[in-house]
Amino acid sequence: SRFETCWPALMKDSHGVIIIFNPELPSHLKEIEMWYSCFVQQQPLLDSQCLLVAHHKPGSAGDTEDLSLAYPLNKLKLIHSNLEEDPEDVRMEFIKYFRSIITIINESREREEMSIIS
């Protein structure tokens, strides 16, 4: 992609990665493997620091709810967003995700402080 030169700057000191894709596009399903590899595995971030969002456009078929992704993507938290039908659900999932990231940051900060002390 023409933005690849910017990736290191985007990734620097990042604590989480949210990958949003259209589950009805086979090309997107291939691409999310590449995004996961570059932005999560190579950093490295924990799988719990990554959130996959299958975004359903208004009026889309919606039969992709039982989307089964191949390894290693199947280890990640996957939510379906359909802002017409269930914006509140999506909002709650985002809040849960952000809380988990904050917990991870706080824990790693505490570990760093302990290692400085000891």
Inter-residue contact 92 to 81 (CB < 8 Å): no
Q: What is the 3 state secondary structure string of the chain?
A: CCCHHHHHHHHCCCCCEEEEECCCCHHHHHHHHHHHHHHHHCCCCCHHHEEEEEECCCCCCCCCCCCCCCCCHHHCEEEEECCCCCHHHHHHHHHHHHHHHHHHHHHHHHHHHHHHHC
pLDDT the model gives residue 19? 95
pLDDT at 86: 78
Task: Please report which confidence band the pLDDT of residue 41 belongs to, taking 50, 70 and 90 as the band edges.
Answer: very high
Read off the tokens for 82: 């359909």
Domain total in the chain: 1
Containing domain of residue 10, as a range? 4-117
CA-to-CA distance for 114 and 118, rounded, in angstroms?
6
For the chain, give the mean pLDDT.
88
pLDDT-based confidence at residue 107 (cuts at 50, 70, 90): very high
> So what's the pLDDT on residue 74?
93
Q: Is the pTM of this model over 0.75?
A: yes
pLDDT at position 1:
57
**Residue 14 pLDDT exceeds 60:** yes
| Rounded average pLDDT over 54-67 | 73
Model confidence at 45: pLDDT above 70: yes
| Cα 81 from Cα 45, distance rounded (Å) | 24
62 pLDDT tier (thresholds 50, 70, 90): low
Task: Note whether 38 and 17 are within 8 A (CB).
Answer: no
Summarize the confidence of residues 74-88 as an average pLDDT: 88
Residue 45: phi and psi, rounded to 5, are -110, 160
